[in-house]
Structure 1
Amino acid sequence: MRLLSALYRRFSRLIHEVAKFGTVGAFAYVVQLAATNLFWYGLGTAELAGQVLGTTCATVVAFLGNRFWTFRDRSHSGLVRAYALFFGLNAVGLLIQLVCLWFTVSVLGLDGPLARNIAGNVVGVGLGSLFRFWSYRKWVFRAPSAGAGPPGTGPDTVEGGPSGTVRSS
């Protein structure tokens, strides 16, 4: 029990960030699913264009949730800079989704609603989300500067040892 308690204390900030990121992501995911399918099947938009438009809608929702809730205690270098960086990194995540969708439709020849949603909205979003979480923490919502508190107490403290503290950023 002591080990679990010690692990929780050591990783509590990361656990809370992952939980908040997941909550924001789940909400944005619902927006993306609804918007993408509306573009595809309600408005007849081509598969890649519909994916781009649906993901763009979700990106706006995700930015607001992550900026003002998940990473609110991290450094904010200005709304315009953070927004541009966020959208740039989301473009990489979107590219991951598009490759998954393109491969499924163009290479495998699977172009039904289930195949599109699994490729772009499950596999693509899953892989893109791993990239997004890592990149948001590293570049968009950076940890407070090293002088903000005693060593080993910052939000990115991952592992302490005899040689000092190792930080994930």
Structure 2
Amino acid sequence: MATTTASDPSLAQKLRGLSGEAVKFGLVGLSGVVVNFAVFWVCLNGLHLASLRSNIAATLVAIATNYLGYRYWLYRDRDAASRKREITLFLVFSGAGMLIETGVLGFSVYVLGLSSHFQQLAAKVLGLGLGTVFRFISYRTWVFKAVPEPTEEQLAEARAAQAAPDTGVVAQAELMLAAEQIRLAKAE
């Protein structure tokens, strides 16, 4: 059986992985921006809600659609052992991003006196940009945690388990499952 040794990826490999992740994050985020601005525009012009109420409603709808994109496309390979924890953290950090976005919009409307809808959209774009940077860092660091790499000890145990004599069907199944989980973790 061929064995491989675990090695730390080079800086270039890490940056390539991060850039790919940033592009996918941007695509999910872009779909959220489209939803956000569409709902904002409808609330502001169609329902004639105040700008901050429109922003909060639009952001909440976008948060819901973004979670689906992040969980089931971008971070589908990340640890999902505790969905309750993941969703709670996602909502907390999304709420903080919404406060950043709404704070910039509120400052522009109530302090700077920007009252046209296009000026409010410009303020919303600035707030959304700042909130997006915050969300990207938060989501990848705390919400969608990477599955840890197996240790050398775990790899050795899996190899020993594969070479172990027949110890019963259940024990063999458990050992095969552990070895497969380690193999999949290394493949990622």
Shift in Å at residue 41 of structure 1? 0.9
Partner of 1:133: 136
Cα deviation 1:32-78 (Å, max 9, x = unaligned)? 00001111111011111110000001001110001111111111133
Task: Judging by fraction of residues, say which structure has more helix.
Answer: 2
**Residue 61 of structure 2 is aligned to residue 44 of structure 1:** no
> Which residue identity lines up with residue 87 of structure 1 in the other structure?
L
> Which residue identity lines up with residue 129 of structure 1 in the other structure?
T
Shift in Å at residue 8 of structure 1? 4.6
Cα deviation 1:60-107 (Å, max 9, x = unaligned)? 111000111111111113333212211110110000011101111001
Partner of 2:92: 88
Q: Aligned ranges for residues 40-119 of structure 1 at < 5 Å?
A: 40-119=44-123
> Which residue identity lines up with residue 55 of structure 1 in the other structure?
T
TM-score of the aligned structures, taking structure 2 as reference length: 0.72
TM-score of the aligned structures, taking structure 1 as reference length: 0.79
> Which residue identity lines up with residue 56 of structure 2 in the other structure?
V
**Residue 36 of structure 2 is aligned to residue 18 of structure 1:** no
> Which residue identity lines up with residue 148 of structure 2 in the other structure?
S
Higher radius of gyration, 1 or 2: 2
DSSP 3-state at the match of 1:147 = coil
- Give 4+ residue runs of structure 1 displaced > 4 Å after superposition: none
> Which residue identity lines up with residue 108 of structure 1 in the other structure?
L
Task: Judging by fraction of residues, say which structure has more strand.
Answer: 1
RMSD of equivalent CA atoms: 1.6
Change (3 A) 1:148 1:95: farther
Cα deviation 1:98-138 (Å, max 9, x = unaligned)? 11011110011111111111112x10000000000000011
CA distance in 2, matches of 1:69, 1:77: 17
Q: Greater relative contact order: 1 or 2 (C-alpha under 8 angstroms, separation 6 or more)?
A: 1
Partner of 2:170: none
Deviating more after overlay: 138-147 vs 15-24: 138-147
CA distance in 2, matches of 1:23, 1:111: 31
- Structure 1 unmatched runs, 5+: 1-5, 150-169
> Which residue identity lines up with residue 61 of structure 2 in the other structure?
C
Partner of 1:163: none
Question: Percent identity of the aligned residues?
Answer: 37
CA distance in 1, matches of 2:109, 2:43: 17
CA distance in 1, matches of 2:149, 2:48: 51
